[in-house]
């Protein structure tokens, strides 16, 4: 913990971002926002054409980045390492999936095949109103939020922290995965939801819809970044950092950490839920595999690689690791797990502050040299 706190000296609560940072953010966002235009306006084969595959990939990474950012809020700033963010991500995805399942049918009351196999004639109660888009979106926010709130309330109240909290979140996610794997739970068992057709009346496979989803994801990521920055730059954010570095001391000073932790934990879960909801229409499937232990821990390594406690770092980390994954699984599928395992080990041993920390250190050294 010590090295990390040195890196994050108390800053003045100035503006959200410095002018330089704003420029960089807007520039990068603009570049990424242009990509679908290149895809739509140039025919395949043209030098400036960007394939739909690339757009889909970046859109997917954007959602991952959002989940990583959410995880960074709790891990990087409040010191709560969650091994259960895959659960919130998947719950958001299932919320969206419920709407998409019903939107694709000629009538929203026709039950999907997996319910027919269970000889269910109508949708069970927890599916009610999911044919309305806005209600489903409410679920996307509220279900992960509520679960996180209830779970967090009990966990933080009994002062479970550190690795205990991590292991308990892992157990919770594992239990949820087992639950969703059952056919009788009513979420399609191990096949989950797939074969989506329309979203809000638009064809889900058309390039225009995909571009819109991409822009939405990009916008949501930007919004999450600004929200995260607003939280961490506020007084509340300072308390969170204090919780991370010396929770007992903070308590002795008269603060009750419960509310602060609970707030950031719930917000993080909700951001993660939104990321999951944006992810599902772009990849076209959601199944309980998203809740597996592996997925949640992979999210942690995105954050660690990019640099925790930086908000930008997780976005970079999610991009880098998933870029590598995409390359490896097509070029050297046998070696991807070796590479990922090595990244886990090397980052924890040699890059405790991640890529962003490394760049900062190099920058400082250059300044000192000049």
Partner 1 sequence: MKLIFPFWRRLLLIAALALPMHMATALELVDRATLAGLASDNNNDKIEAINALGQLSHPGAAAILEALGNDNVLITSDGSVLVVESAGKAYDPTTGNSIAVPSGAEPITINNRLRRALQAAQASAELYSPSPVVRLAAVKRLQKEGDASRAPIISKALEKEQDAEIKQALTIALAASTIKSGDASARRQAAFVLGESGDANFKPVLSAMLQKDSNGQFAEPENNVRLAAETAINQIDRHQSLVAWAGNIFFGISLGSVLLLAALGLAITFGLMGIINMAHGELLMIGAYATYMVQLFFKAYLPGWISWYLVAALPVAFLVAAIVGMILERTVIRWLYGRPLETLLATWGISLMLMQAVRSFFGAQNVEVANPKWMTGGITVLGNLVLTYNRMVIIAFALCVVGVVWLVLNRTRLGLFVRAITQNRRMADCVGVATGRIDMLAFGLGSGIAGLAGVALSQLGNVGPDLGRSYIVDSFMVVVLGGVGQLAGTVVAAMGLGMLNKFIEPFWGAVIAKIAILLFIVLFVQKRPQGLFAPKGRSAE
Q: Which residues are near partner 1 by CB under 8 A? A: 1, 81, 151, 154-155, 157-160, 162-164, 166-168, 170-172, 174-175, 178-179, 181-182, 248, 293, 297, 300-301, 304, 334-335, 337-338, 340-345, 347-349, 352
- Shortest CB 326 distance to partner 1, Å: 17
* Least distance from partner 1 to the Cβ atom of residue 147, Å: 12
In the complex with partner 1, the residue whose CB is nearer, 26 or 150, is: 150
Residue whose CB is less far from partner 1, 42 or 164:
164
Instruction: Output 130 or 353, the one with its CB closest to partner 1.
Output: 353
Least Å distance, CB 169 to partner 1, is 9
Three-class HEC string of the chain:
CHHHHHHCCCCCCCCCCCHHHHHHHHHHHHHHHHHHHHHHHCCCCCCCCCCHHHHHHHHHHHHHHHHHHHHHHHHHHCCCCCCCHHHHHHHHHHHHHHHHHHHCCCCCCCCCHHHHHCCCCCCCHHHCCCCCHHHHHHHHHHHHHHHHHHHHHHHHHCCCCHHHHHHHHHHHHHHHHHHHHCHHHCCCHHHCEECCCEECCEECCCHHHHHHHHHHHHHHHHHHHHHHHHHHHCHHHHHHHHHHHHHHHHHHCCCCHHHHHHHHHHHHHHHHHHHHHHHHHHHCEECHHHHCHHHHHHHHHHHHHHCCCCCHHHHHHHHHHHHHHHHHHHHCHHHHHHHHHHHHHHHHHHCCCHHHHHHHHHHHHHHHHC
To partner 1, the closest distance from the beta carbon of 364 in angstroms equals 23
**Closer of 120 and 328 to partner 1 (Cβ):** 328
Measured from the CB atom, the residue of 141 and 351 that comes closer to partner 1 is 351
Shortest separation between residue 349's beta carbon and partner 1, angstroms = 6
């Amino acid at each position: 913990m010590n090295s990390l706190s040195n890196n994050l000296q108390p800053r003045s609560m100035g503006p959200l971002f410095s002018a330089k940072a704003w420029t960089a953010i807007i520039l990068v966002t603009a570049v990424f926002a242009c990509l679908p235009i290149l895809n739509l306006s140039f025919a395949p084969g043209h030098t400036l054409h960007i394939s739909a595959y690339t757009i889909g990939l970046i859109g997917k990474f954007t959602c991952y980045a959002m989940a990583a950012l959410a995880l960074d809020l709790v891990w990087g700033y409040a010191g709560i390492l969650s091994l259960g963010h895959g659960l919130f991500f998947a719950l958001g995805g299932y919320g969206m999936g419920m709407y998409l399942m019903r939107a694709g049918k000629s009538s929203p009351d026709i039950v999907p095949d997996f319910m027919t196999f269970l000889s269910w004639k109508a949708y069970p109660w927890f599916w009610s109103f999911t044919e309305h888009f806005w209600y489903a979106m409410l679920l996307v926010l509220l279900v992960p939020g509520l679960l996180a709130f209830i779970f967090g309330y009990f966990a933080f109240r009994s002062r479970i922290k550190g690795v205990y909290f991590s292991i308990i979140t892992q157990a919770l996610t594992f239990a949820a995965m087992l639950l969703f794997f059952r056919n009788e739970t009513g979420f399609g068992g191990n096949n989950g939801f797939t074969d989506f057709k329309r979203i809000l009346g638009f064809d889900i496979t058309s390039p225009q819809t995909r571009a819109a989803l991409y822009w939405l994801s990009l916008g949501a990521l930007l919004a999450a970044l600004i929200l995260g920055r607003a939280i961490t730059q506020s007084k509340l954010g300072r308390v969170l950092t204090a919780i991370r570095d010396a929770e007992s001391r903070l308590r002795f000073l008269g603060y009750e950490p419960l509310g602060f932790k609970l707030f950031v934990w719930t917000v993080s879960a909700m951001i993660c839920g939104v990321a999951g909801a944006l992810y599902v229409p772009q990849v076209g499937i959601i199944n309980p595999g998203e809740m597996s232990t592996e997925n949640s821990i992979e999210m942690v390594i995105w954050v660690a690689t990019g640099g925790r406690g930086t908000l930008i770092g997780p976005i970079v980390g999610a991009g880098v690791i998933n870029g590598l994954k995409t390359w490896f699984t097509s070029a050297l599928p046998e070696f991807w797990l070796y590479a990922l395992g090595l990244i886990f080990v090397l980052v924890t041993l040699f890059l405790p502050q991640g890529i962003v920390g490394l760049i900062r250190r190099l920058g400082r050294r250059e300044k000192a040299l000049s």
